[in-house]
Amino acid sequence: MKIVLITSFLLTCLAVFAADEQLQKEIQRDYQKQKVNKSDLLPTLKDVAYGDDPRQTLNFWQVKAKKPLGILVHIHGGGWRGGDKLPSLKKAPEAYHSASITYPLTKDGDTLPSMVHSAARAIQFIRYKAQEWNIDPKRIVVTGGSAGGASSYWLAFHDDLADPDNPDPVLRESTRVSGAVINGGQSTLDPFLIQERIGDETLKHHMLYKPLGLQSVNELMDGWQTYKKLSNECTGLAHISKDDPPVYMNYGKDRTLPAKNNAHGIHHFVFGLLVKEKCDQIGLKTYLKSSGYKDSTALSSEEYIEQLLIEE
C-alpha cells in the first residue's frame, strides 16, 4: 500500500502555494534566522562538513530502518546572498531521510560557480556516506525555494560531475538526482531573456549580477559576452536534455506580465514556463503548478516525492 506522508519538511519546503503572498512568505523564511521550538526535531547529525569551506555544512535527520531509504535534500534560498539550512523539523518523515545544506554566499564575497558546485558536492558527500547513513543512493531528491530552487534546477539538469579518478573520494561520486521540487526558483539568469519574457523590473534584482561579482545589471548587460558562459553554466535552463529527471515546479498564482517589481519578477511563473516549453520540445515530462493556470498539474508535490523516494 502506498504510504501517504504529510510531514513538516514537505509542508515547509514543498507546499503548493495558492497565492503569491504565501510564496513570498515561504521564500522570505530563508532570509531570517529560524526559531527552534522545544517540540521540534533536532538533527541526528548537526553541522556536518561536506567540504572545506566553513559554509559547506549540512544537517541530517536519519530514519531508523532495516534497509536503505531515500533522502530529501533541502537547499535554502536567499538570492545566493543570505539564508541558512533548516535547524530543526516539526516532525520526522517516516519513510525517508532528510537533510538541509548551506553553501557559500555573495554577502561573504563568494561568486559563481561556488554556490552550485557546493550543492553538487553536498549530493556527492551524501552518496559517499550512503552505506554509513543507510541511504539509497539511487533515491535522492532535492528541493528549494528561490535561489535554492535555482540550485535544484541546476542539479536536476546538469550532466554528471563525477570524476572517477579524483584523489578526493567524495568527488568520485555522482551528482545526479532522482528529481527536484522547485518553489519560485530561477531557471535562467540571462538578463535579455528575462527582460523579454518577464519584464524590466526583474533586472533590478541583485541575483542577476551579484553572483558574478558585478555591481549592477548594466555592467552585466554591457559585458554579456564576457559573462554569458558562466551565467548560463550555473543555471538549469541551458542544460536540459532528454535523459534528465522530471521536475516539479511550484509558482504563485500572480502571473501578471510584465512583472510588477523585482521581488515579483525574480520568482515569476515564467521561469517554470521556460522549462516546460523546452522540456515539451524534447519530450521530457515536467509538472508545473500554479493556481488558475490552464495546464497546472493535478499531481501534488507530496505525491511526486512519494513516487521517487518510497520504494514500492
pLDDT, tens only, 202-228: 999 999 999 999 999 999 999 999 999
Is the distance from CB of 8 to CB of 91 less than 8 angstroms?
A: yes
Q: Which CATH class is domain 8-309?
A: alpha beta
- pTM here is 0.91
Q: Provide the residue type at 60 as one letter.
A: F
Confidence of residue 35 (pLDDT cuts 50, 70, 90): confident
For residue 21, give the 3-state DSSP assignment: helix
At residue 205, the pLDDT reads 98
Q: What angle do CA 124, 127, 133 make, to 5 degrees?
A: 135
**Rounded percentage of the chain residues whose pLDDT exceeds 70:** 89
Is the distance from CB of 141 to CB of 181 less than 8 angstroms?
A: yes
Q: How many Å apart are CA 214 and CA 192, to the nearest integer?
A: 16
Give the model confidence (pLDDT) of 234-259 as tens digits: 999 999 999 999 999 999 999 999 99
Give the model confidence (pLDDT) of 40-77 as tens digits: 899 999 999 999 999 999 999 999 999 999 999 999 99
Q: Any idea where the domains of the chain sit in the sequence? A: 8-309
HSE-up (13 A, CA, CB side) for residue 300: 13
User: Is the confidence at residue 84, as pLDDT, over 90?
Assistant: yes
User: Is the confidence at residue 29, as pLDDT, over 60?
Assistant: no
Helix (H) / strand (E) element for 247: namely strand 247-250
User: Is the confidence at residue 8, as pLDDT, over 60?
Assistant: no
User: Is the confidence at residue 266, as pLDDT, over 60?
Assistant: yes
Give the mean pLDDT of 94-103. 96
At residue 11, the pLDDT reads 46
End-to-end CA distance of the chain: 8
Is the distance from CB of 175 to CB of 162 less than 8 angstroms?
A: yes
Sheet strands (E) in the chain = 45-49, 57-61, 69-75, 97-101, 135-145, 179-183, 247-250, 287-289
At residue 94, the pLDDT reads 86
Average pLDDT score over the chain: 91
Q: Is 283 exposed, middle or buried (0-12, 13-18, 19+ CB in 10 A)?
A: exposed
Confidence of residue 28 (pLDDT cuts 50, 70, 90): low
